[in-house]
Structure 1
Amino acid sequence: MTKRAPFIVIEGLDRSGKTTQIETIRQRIQNSGRDVVCIKFPDRATPIGQMIDSYLRSQSDLDDHVVHLLFSANRWELASTIISYLNQGKIVLCDRYAFSGIAFSVAKSLPTEVESPPSDLPPITLPWARAPDASLPAPDLTLFLDIAPQVARVRGGYGEERYEKEDLQRRVRSVFGEIGREMSGEDRKWVVVDAGLSLSAVSQEIWGYVEPLLDGLDSSVGRLWTE
Protein backbone atom coordinates (compact mmCIF):
# COMPACT_ATOMS: atom_id res chain seq x y z
CA MET A 1 0.00 0.00 0.00
CA THR A 2 1.34 3.44 -0.94
CA LYS A 3 1.84 5.70 2.03
CA ARG A 4 -0.42 8.70 2.43
CA ALA A 5 0.26 12.01 4.12
CA PRO A 6 -0.88 12.76 7.69
CA PHE A 7 -3.85 14.92 8.66
CA ILE A 8 -2.88 17.21 11.56
CA VAL A 9 -5.30 19.48 13.43
CA ILE A 10 -4.46 22.36 15.77
CA GLU A 11 -7.24 23.20 18.24
CA GLY A 12 -7.52 25.65 21.13
CA LEU A 13 -9.32 28.59 22.65
CA ASP A 14 -9.42 31.91 20.83
CA ARG A 15 -6.06 33.73 20.99
CA SER A 16 -4.26 30.56 22.10
CA GLY A 17 -1.69 31.04 19.33
CA LYS A 18 -3.03 28.53 16.81
CA THR A 19 -2.46 30.66 13.70
CA THR A 20 1.10 31.57 14.70
CA GLN A 21 2.01 27.98 15.50
CA ILE A 22 0.46 26.65 12.29
CA GLU A 23 2.52 29.08 10.22
CA THR A 24 5.69 28.03 12.08
CA ILE A 25 4.98 24.34 11.58
CA ARG A 26 4.04 24.91 7.92
CA GLN A 27 7.39 26.53 7.28
CA ARG A 28 9.27 23.72 9.03
CA ILE A 29 7.41 21.09 7.00
CA GLN A 30 8.16 22.94 3.76
CA ASN A 31 11.80 23.30 4.75
CA SER A 32 11.94 19.53 5.21
CA GLY A 33 11.03 19.12 1.53
CA ARG A 34 7.44 17.93 1.96
CA ASP A 35 4.24 19.32 0.47
CA VAL A 36 1.84 20.85 2.97
CA VAL A 37 -1.60 22.44 2.63
CA CYS A 38 -3.14 24.68 5.32
CA ILE A 39 -6.90 24.72 5.86
CA LYS A 40 -8.75 26.93 8.33
CA PHE A 41 -12.27 26.37 9.64
CA PRO A 42 -14.62 27.95 9.21
CA ASP A 43 -13.73 28.43 5.56
CA ARG A 44 -15.37 31.81 5.09
CA ALA A 45 -14.92 31.82 1.30
CA THR A 46 -17.69 29.30 0.59
CA PRO A 47 -21.40 30.22 0.43
CA ILE A 48 -21.98 28.53 3.80
CA GLY A 49 -18.80 30.10 5.15
CA GLN A 50 -20.08 33.57 4.25
CA MET A 51 -23.20 32.95 6.35
CA ILE A 52 -20.98 31.85 9.25
CA ASP A 53 -18.76 34.91 8.82
CA SER A 54 -21.77 37.22 9.05
CA TYR A 55 -22.88 35.47 12.23
CA LEU A 56 -19.42 35.57 13.86
CA ARG A 57 -19.12 39.28 13.14
CA SER A 58 -22.50 39.77 14.87
CA GLN A 59 -24.03 41.00 11.61
CA SER A 60 -26.79 38.38 11.79
CA ASP A 61 -28.50 36.22 14.42
CA LEU A 62 -29.24 32.51 14.07
CA ASP A 63 -30.44 29.78 16.41
CA ASP A 64 -27.55 27.87 17.99
CA HIS A 65 -28.71 24.57 16.45
CA VAL A 66 -28.72 26.16 13.00
CA VAL A 67 -25.26 27.64 13.56
CA HIS A 68 -23.87 24.26 14.60
CA LEU A 69 -25.23 22.57 11.48
CA LEU A 70 -23.78 25.33 9.29
CA PHE A 71 -20.33 24.84 10.81
CA SER A 72 -20.62 21.09 10.23
CA ALA A 73 -21.76 21.61 6.63
CA ASN A 74 -18.77 23.89 6.10
CA ARG A 75 -16.45 21.04 7.12
CA TRP A 76 -18.26 18.59 4.85
CA GLU A 77 -17.72 21.02 1.96
CA LEU A 78 -13.99 20.27 2.21
CA ALA A 79 -14.05 16.63 3.38
CA SER A 80 -13.34 15.10 -0.03
CA THR A 81 -10.68 17.74 -0.70
CA ILE A 82 -8.85 16.82 2.50
CA ILE A 83 -8.84 13.11 1.59
CA SER A 84 -7.63 13.92 -1.92
CA TYR A 85 -4.72 15.97 -0.59
CA LEU A 86 -3.69 13.20 1.81
CA ASN A 87 -3.75 10.56 -0.92
CA GLN A 88 -1.65 12.86 -3.13
CA GLY A 89 1.01 12.92 -0.41
CA LYS A 90 0.21 16.47 0.73
CA ILE A 91 0.26 16.97 4.49
CA VAL A 92 -2.91 18.73 5.65
CA LEU A 93 -2.46 21.17 8.53
CA CYS A 94 -5.84 22.32 9.82
CA ASP A 95 -6.67 25.33 12.00
CA ARG A 96 -9.76 24.17 13.97
CA TYR A 97 -11.95 21.23 13.04
CA ALA A 98 -15.01 19.34 14.28
CA PHE A 99 -13.83 19.48 17.89
CA SER A 100 -14.08 23.27 17.95
CA GLY A 101 -17.54 23.16 16.43
CA ILE A 102 -18.71 20.76 19.12
CA ALA A 103 -16.98 22.55 22.00
CA PHE A 104 -18.43 25.97 21.18
CA SER A 105 -21.95 24.67 20.51
CA VAL A 106 -22.14 22.60 23.69
CA ALA A 107 -20.56 25.40 25.75
CA LYS A 108 -23.32 27.80 24.72
CA SER A 109 -25.86 25.45 26.34
CA LEU A 110 -24.00 25.22 29.67
CA PRO A 111 -24.94 27.42 32.66
CA THR A 112 -23.65 30.98 32.35
CA GLU A 113 -22.56 33.62 34.85
CA VAL A 114 -25.49 35.76 33.68
CA GLU A 115 -28.84 33.99 33.48
CA SER A 116 -30.05 33.64 29.89
CA PRO A 117 -33.67 33.83 28.72
CA PRO A 118 -35.31 30.37 28.60
CA SER A 119 -35.39 28.63 25.23
CA ASP A 120 -38.18 26.54 23.73
CA LEU A 121 -35.55 24.30 22.10
CA PRO A 122 -33.54 21.57 23.85
CA PRO A 123 -29.94 22.29 24.88
CA ILE A 124 -27.13 21.14 22.61
CA THR A 125 -25.51 18.02 24.10
CA LEU A 126 -22.28 16.27 23.12
CA PRO A 127 -24.05 13.35 21.39
CA TRP A 128 -26.27 15.73 19.39
CA ALA A 129 -23.34 17.94 18.44
CA ARG A 130 -21.16 15.01 17.34
CA ALA A 131 -23.78 13.44 15.10
CA PRO A 132 -23.47 15.75 12.02
CA ASP A 133 -19.67 15.29 11.99
CA ALA A 134 -19.67 11.49 12.25
CA SER A 135 -17.69 9.98 9.34
CA LEU A 136 -15.72 13.14 8.57
CA PRO A 137 -12.02 12.39 7.88
CA ALA A 138 -10.35 11.71 11.24
CA PRO A 139 -7.13 13.55 12.11
CA ASP A 140 -4.04 11.45 12.69
CA LEU A 141 -2.97 13.97 15.33
CA THR A 142 -4.87 16.69 17.16
CA LEU A 143 -2.88 19.19 19.20
CA PHE A 144 -4.96 21.15 21.70
CA LEU A 145 -3.29 24.43 22.68
CA ASP A 146 -4.47 24.87 26.25
CA ILE A 147 -4.49 28.33 27.80
CA ALA A 148 -6.46 29.94 30.62
CA PRO A 149 -9.11 32.34 29.23
CA GLN A 150 -7.87 35.16 31.49
CA VAL A 151 -4.42 34.80 29.91
CA ALA A 152 -5.81 34.72 26.35
CA ARG A 153 -7.89 37.82 27.09
CA VAL A 154 -4.84 40.08 27.37
CA ARG A 155 -3.56 39.10 23.92
CA GLY A 156 -4.09 41.46 20.98
CA GLY A 157 -7.41 41.47 19.15
CA TYR A 158 -9.37 39.66 21.86
CA GLY A 159 -13.10 40.36 21.84
CA GLU A 160 -13.41 41.30 18.17
CA GLU A 161 -15.78 38.43 17.38
CA ARG A 162 -18.92 37.00 18.93
CA TYR A 163 -17.33 34.06 20.75
CA GLU A 164 -14.42 35.97 22.30
CA LYS A 165 -15.99 36.39 25.74
CA GLU A 166 -14.13 35.12 28.81
CA ASP A 167 -17.12 33.34 30.38
CA LEU A 168 -17.87 31.47 27.15
CA GLN A 169 -14.20 30.61 26.66
CA ARG A 170 -14.11 29.02 30.14
CA ARG A 171 -17.07 26.84 29.24
CA VAL A 172 -15.49 25.98 25.88
CA ARG A 173 -12.29 24.93 27.64
CA SER A 174 -14.31 22.64 29.90
CA VAL A 175 -15.98 20.92 26.92
CA PHE A 176 -12.63 20.58 25.14
CA GLY A 177 -11.40 18.80 28.26
CA GLU A 178 -14.27 16.33 28.03
CA ILE A 179 -13.65 15.75 24.32
CA GLY A 180 -9.94 15.26 25.00
CA ARG A 181 -10.62 12.63 27.66
CA GLU A 182 -12.78 10.74 25.18
CA MET A 183 -10.22 11.02 22.38
CA SER A 184 -7.06 10.33 24.39
CA GLY A 185 -5.48 6.90 24.37
CA GLU A 186 -2.31 4.98 23.84
CA ASP A 187 -2.17 6.04 20.19
CA ARG A 188 -1.63 9.66 21.32
CA LYS A 189 -3.88 11.10 18.63
CA TRP A 190 -5.02 13.85 21.02
CA VAL A 191 -2.26 15.81 22.76
CA VAL A 192 -2.60 18.76 25.15
CA VAL A 193 0.08 21.45 24.79
CA ASP A 194 0.56 24.24 27.34
CA ALA A 195 0.04 27.34 25.18
CA GLY A 196 1.00 29.61 28.07
CA LEU A 197 4.68 28.81 27.48
CA SER A 198 6.91 30.86 25.19
CA LEU A 199 6.25 30.70 21.44
CA SER A 200 9.49 28.84 20.84
CA ALA A 201 8.79 26.29 23.58
CA VAL A 202 5.32 25.61 22.24
CA SER A 203 6.64 25.29 18.68
CA GLN A 204 9.31 22.84 19.73
CA GLU A 205 6.84 20.66 21.64
CA ILE A 206 4.43 20.64 18.69
CA TRP A 207 7.24 19.72 16.30
CA GLY A 208 8.14 16.78 18.50
CA TYR A 209 4.70 15.29 17.84
CA VAL A 210 4.48 16.30 14.17
CA GLU A 211 7.91 15.23 12.91
CA PRO A 212 7.42 11.44 13.39
CA LEU A 213 4.40 11.55 11.05
CA LEU A 214 6.05 13.35 8.14
CA ASP A 215 7.26 10.26 6.28
CA GLY A 216 3.65 9.16 5.78
CA LEU A 217 1.25 6.54 7.08
CA ASP A 218 0.42 3.06 5.82
CA SER A 219 -3.20 3.16 7.03
CA SER A 220 -6.15 4.59 5.14
CA VAL A 221 -7.79 7.81 6.34
CA GLY A 222 -9.92 7.15 9.39
CA ARG A 223 -13.40 8.44 10.09
CA LEU A 224 -14.64 10.32 13.15
CA TRP A 225 -16.98 8.63 15.61
CA THR A 226 -17.95 5.66 13.48
CA GLU A 227 -17.54 3.00 16.18
Structure 2
Amino acid sequence: MSRTRRGALIVFEGCDRSGKTTQSDLLVKHFEAKHIPVKHMKFPDRTTIIGQMIDSYLRKSQELSDESIHLLFSANRWEFRNQMEKLLNSGTTLVVDRYSFSGIAYTAVKGKSFEWCKFPERGLVKPDLVFYLKTAVNSLESRDDFGTEIYEKGEIQKKVAKIFEEFCEKDSEYWRMIDGGRSIEAVKGDIVLEADRVLEEVKGSPIELLWPVD
Protein backbone atom coordinates (compact mmCIF):
# COMPACT_ATOMS: atom_id res chain seq x y z
CA MET A 1 0.00 0.00 0.00
CA SER A 2 1.43 3.41 -0.98
CA ARG A 3 1.72 5.96 1.76
CA THR A 4 0.03 9.33 1.22
CA ARG A 5 2.54 11.98 0.32
CA ARG A 6 2.45 14.53 3.12
CA GLY A 7 1.93 18.22 2.60
CA ALA A 8 4.34 20.98 3.57
CA LEU A 9 3.89 23.65 6.22
CA ILE A 10 4.94 26.96 4.64
CA VAL A 11 4.85 30.08 6.81
CA PHE A 12 5.06 33.77 5.94
CA GLU A 13 6.54 36.13 8.53
CA GLY A 14 7.38 39.81 8.46
CA CYS A 15 6.45 43.20 9.81
CA ASP A 16 2.92 44.54 9.55
CA ARG A 17 1.89 45.52 5.99
CA SER A 18 4.98 43.84 4.52
CA GLY A 19 3.02 41.91 1.88
CA LYS A 20 2.51 38.58 3.68
CA THR A 21 -1.18 38.34 2.86
CA THR A 22 -0.65 39.20 -0.80
CA GLN A 23 2.19 36.73 -1.28
CA SER A 24 0.55 33.92 0.69
CA ASP A 25 -2.59 34.38 -1.44
CA LEU A 26 -0.51 34.17 -4.60
CA LEU A 27 1.27 31.01 -3.42
CA VAL A 28 -2.06 29.34 -2.65
CA LYS A 29 -3.28 30.19 -6.18
CA HIS A 30 -0.02 28.80 -7.60
CA PHE A 31 -0.59 25.46 -5.86
CA GLU A 32 -4.26 25.39 -6.85
CA ALA A 33 -3.31 25.90 -10.49
CA LYS A 34 -1.05 22.84 -10.20
CA HIS A 35 -3.88 20.86 -8.54
CA ILE A 36 -1.92 20.51 -5.31
CA PRO A 37 -4.17 20.20 -2.23
CA VAL A 38 -3.67 23.40 -0.22
CA LYS A 39 -5.26 25.31 2.64
CA HIS A 40 -4.63 28.96 3.51
CA MET A 41 -4.49 29.81 7.22
CA LYS A 42 -3.82 33.02 9.13
CA PHE A 43 -2.86 33.66 12.75
CA PRO A 44 -4.35 35.00 14.79
CA ASP A 45 -7.49 33.24 13.60
CA ARG A 46 -10.06 35.78 14.73
CA THR A 47 -13.08 33.48 14.24
CA THR A 48 -12.70 31.62 17.55
CA ILE A 49 -13.58 32.96 21.01
CA ILE A 50 -9.87 33.31 21.79
CA GLY A 51 -9.33 34.94 18.41
CA GLN A 52 -12.04 37.48 19.13
CA MET A 53 -10.32 38.45 22.38
CA ILE A 54 -7.07 38.92 20.47
CA ASP A 55 -8.83 41.00 17.83
CA SER A 56 -10.27 43.27 20.50
CA TYR A 57 -6.78 43.79 21.95
CA LEU A 58 -5.17 44.46 18.58
CA ARG A 59 -7.82 47.02 17.71
CA LYS A 60 -7.11 48.80 21.01
CA SER A 61 -10.59 48.22 22.46
CA GLN A 62 -9.46 45.91 25.29
CA GLU A 63 -6.41 46.10 27.55
CA LEU A 64 -4.54 42.93 28.51
CA SER A 65 -1.22 42.32 30.23
CA ASP A 66 1.77 41.37 28.08
CA GLU A 67 1.72 37.87 29.59
CA SER A 68 -2.00 37.37 28.97
CA ILE A 69 -1.97 38.41 25.33
CA HIS A 70 1.12 36.32 24.60
CA LEU A 71 -0.55 33.20 25.99
CA LEU A 72 -3.77 33.96 24.11
CA PHE A 73 -1.86 34.19 20.81
CA SER A 74 -0.23 30.84 21.59
CA ALA A 75 -3.53 29.25 22.63
CA ASN A 76 -5.04 30.39 19.33
CA ARG A 77 -2.38 28.40 17.47
CA TRP A 78 -2.91 25.39 19.72
CA GLU A 79 -6.61 25.44 18.82
CA PHE A 80 -5.60 24.38 15.31
CA ARG A 81 -2.57 22.23 16.07
CA ASN A 82 -4.22 18.80 15.67
CA GLN A 83 -6.13 19.89 12.58
CA MET A 84 -2.92 21.13 10.99
CA GLU A 85 -1.09 17.85 11.62
CA LYS A 86 -4.01 15.85 10.26
CA LEU A 87 -4.18 17.94 7.09
CA LEU A 88 -0.44 17.68 6.51
CA ASN A 89 -0.49 13.91 6.93
CA SER A 90 -3.42 13.64 4.52
CA GLY A 91 -1.40 15.36 1.79
CA THR A 92 -2.61 18.96 2.14
CA THR A 93 -0.04 21.75 2.07
CA LEU A 94 -0.65 24.58 4.54
CA VAL A 95 0.25 28.15 3.65
CA VAL A 96 0.18 30.15 6.89
CA ASP A 97 0.22 33.93 7.33
CA ARG A 98 2.08 34.44 10.66
CA TYR A 99 2.92 31.71 13.16
CA SER A 100 4.82 31.17 16.42
CA PHE A 101 7.73 33.39 15.42
CA SER A 102 5.50 36.47 15.30
CA GLY A 103 4.25 35.64 18.77
CA ILE A 104 7.80 35.42 20.05
CA ALA A 105 9.04 38.55 18.29
CA TYR A 106 6.20 40.86 19.29
CA THR A 107 6.44 39.86 22.96
CA ALA A 108 10.25 39.80 23.08
CA VAL A 109 10.39 43.47 22.04
CA LYS A 110 8.47 44.26 25.23
CA GLY A 111 11.34 42.88 27.30
CA LYS A 112 10.37 39.23 27.86
CA SER A 113 13.13 36.64 27.43
CA PHE A 114 13.21 34.45 24.34
CA GLU A 115 12.93 31.32 26.48
CA TRP A 116 9.78 32.61 28.17
CA CYS A 117 8.29 33.57 24.80
CA LYS A 118 9.17 30.22 23.20
CA PHE A 119 7.92 27.94 25.96
CA PRO A 120 4.18 27.84 25.10
CA GLU A 121 5.06 27.22 21.43
CA ARG A 122 6.92 23.99 22.17
CA GLY A 123 5.19 21.03 20.54
CA LEU A 124 3.44 22.91 17.77
CA VAL A 125 4.12 21.70 14.23
CA LYS A 126 7.46 22.91 12.91
CA PRO A 127 7.34 24.66 9.52
CA ASP A 128 9.17 23.12 6.59
CA LEU A 129 9.82 26.59 5.19
CA VAL A 130 9.51 30.13 6.55
CA PHE A 131 9.58 33.16 4.26
CA TYR A 132 10.61 36.39 5.95
CA LEU A 133 9.51 39.31 3.78
CA LYS A 134 12.03 42.01 4.57
CA THR A 135 10.74 45.51 3.84
CA ALA A 136 12.04 48.91 4.97
CA VAL A 137 9.94 50.15 7.90
CA ASN A 138 9.63 53.65 6.44
CA SER A 139 7.93 52.18 3.38
CA LEU A 140 5.54 50.18 5.59
CA GLU A 141 4.43 53.32 7.40
CA SER A 142 3.22 54.80 4.11
CA ARG A 143 0.97 51.84 3.25
CA ASP A 144 -2.80 51.93 3.59
CA ASP A 145 -4.24 51.54 7.12
CA PHE A 146 -0.84 51.39 8.84
CA GLY A 147 -1.35 52.41 12.46
CA THR A 148 -4.85 51.04 12.96
CA GLU A 149 -3.66 48.19 15.21
CA ILE A 150 -1.69 48.33 18.44
CA TYR A 151 1.68 47.10 17.15
CA GLU A 152 1.71 49.28 14.03
CA LYS A 153 4.29 51.76 15.23
CA GLY A 154 7.60 52.37 13.54
CA GLU A 155 9.77 51.79 16.59
CA ILE A 156 8.08 48.45 17.35
CA GLN A 157 8.33 47.27 13.76
CA LYS A 158 12.07 48.02 13.61
CA LYS A 159 12.70 45.90 16.71
CA VAL A 160 10.51 43.08 15.38
CA ALA A 161 12.38 43.15 12.05
CA LYS A 162 15.67 42.70 13.87
CA ILE A 163 14.36 39.59 15.65
CA PHE A 164 13.14 38.09 12.37
CA GLU A 165 16.60 38.65 10.90
CA GLU A 166 18.10 36.80 13.88
CA PHE A 167 15.76 33.87 13.18
CA CYS A 168 16.96 33.86 9.55
CA GLU A 169 20.58 33.64 10.66
CA LYS A 170 20.06 31.04 13.37
CA ASP A 171 17.61 28.78 11.52
CA SER A 172 18.86 29.22 7.98
CA GLU A 173 18.09 25.59 7.10
CA TYR A 174 14.39 26.44 6.81
CA TRP A 175 14.19 30.25 6.89
CA ARG A 176 14.47 32.30 3.69
CA MET A 177 14.84 36.09 3.66
CA ILE A 178 13.02 37.62 0.71
CA ASP A 179 13.47 41.23 -0.42
CA GLY A 180 9.89 42.44 -0.13
CA GLY A 181 10.66 45.89 -1.53
CA ARG A 182 10.57 44.68 -5.13
CA SER A 183 7.59 44.23 -7.44
CA ILE A 184 4.90 41.74 -6.43
CA GLU A 185 5.78 39.50 -9.38
CA ALA A 186 9.51 39.49 -8.59
CA VAL A 187 8.84 38.52 -4.97
CA LYS A 188 6.38 35.85 -6.07
CA GLY A 189 8.95 34.34 -8.45
CA ASP A 190 11.47 33.74 -5.68
CA ILE A 191 8.83 32.34 -3.36
CA VAL A 192 7.38 29.90 -5.88
CA LEU A 193 10.79 28.43 -6.69
CA GLU A 194 11.56 27.74 -3.03
CA ALA A 195 8.07 26.46 -2.24
CA ASP A 196 8.05 23.98 -5.14
CA ARG A 197 11.45 22.67 -4.07
CA VAL A 198 10.35 22.14 -0.48
CA LEU A 199 7.22 20.26 -1.52
CA GLU A 200 9.45 17.71 -3.22
CA GLU A 201 11.87 17.52 -0.30
CA VAL A 202 9.30 16.80 2.42
CA LYS A 203 7.20 14.17 0.67
CA GLY A 204 8.91 11.26 2.42
CA SER A 205 9.94 12.93 5.68
CA PRO A 206 8.11 12.89 9.02
CA ILE A 207 6.49 15.94 10.56
CA GLU A 208 8.68 17.63 13.15
CA LEU A 209 7.74 19.72 16.18
CA LEU A 210 8.92 23.13 17.33
CA TRP A 211 11.48 23.03 20.13
CA PRO A 212 10.30 19.67 21.54
CA VAL A 213 10.66 19.21 25.28
CA ASP A 214 13.14 16.46 26.19
With normalisation by structure 1, the TM-score equals 0.89
Quick one: which amino acid aligns to residue 220 of structure 1?
P
Quick one: which amino acid aligns to residue 199 of structure 2?
L
Aligned 1:49-198 pairs, distance under 5 A: 49-109=51-111, 124-184=112-172, 188-198=173-183
Which of 189, 201, 213 aligns to 2:198? It is 213
Quick one: which amino acid aligns to residue 30 of structure 1?
E
Residues 4 and 90 of structure 2 are in contact (CA less than 8 Å); yes or no, is this contact kept in structure 1? Answer: no
Quick one: which amino acid aligns to residue 62 of structure 1?
L
Question: Would you identify which runs of 4 or more consecutive aligned residues in structure 1 move more than 4 Å?
Answer: none
Partner of 1:223: 209
- SS for the counterpart of 1:214 is helix
- SS for the counterpart of 1:206 is helix
State the alpha-carbon separation in 2 of the partners of residues 204 and 148 from structure 1. Answer: 20
Partner of 1:120: none
Quick one: which amino acid aligns to residue 8 of structure 1?
I
Quick one: which amino acid aligns to residue 138 of structure 1?
K
Count residues with an aligned counterpart: 210
- SS for the counterpart of 2:103 is helix
- SS for the counterpart of 2:109 is helix
For structure 1, the residue ranges without an aligned partner over 5 or more in a row are 110-123
- SS for the counterpart of 1:92 is strand
- SS for the counterpart of 2:72 is helix
The CA RMSD over aligned residues, in Å, is 1.2
Quick one: which amino acid aligns to residue 66 of structure 1?
S
Measured against aligned partners, the alpha-carbon deviations of 1:82-106 in whole angstroms (never above 9, x if no partner) come to 1111111111000000000000000
- SS for the counterpart of 1:162 is coil
Partner of 2:30: 28
Quick one: which amino acid aligns to residue 203 of structure 1?
K
Measured against aligned partners, the alpha-carbon deviations of 1:125-160 in whole angstroms (never above 9, x if no partner) come to 111100100110000000000112111111111111
Partner of 1:201: 186
State the alpha-carbon separation in 2 of the partners of residues 139 and 16 from structure 1. Answer: 20
Residues 8 and 94 of structure 1 are in contact (CA less than 8 Å); yes or no, is this contact kept in structure 2? Answer: yes
**Identical pairs, percent:** 40
- SS for the counterpart of 2:151 is coil
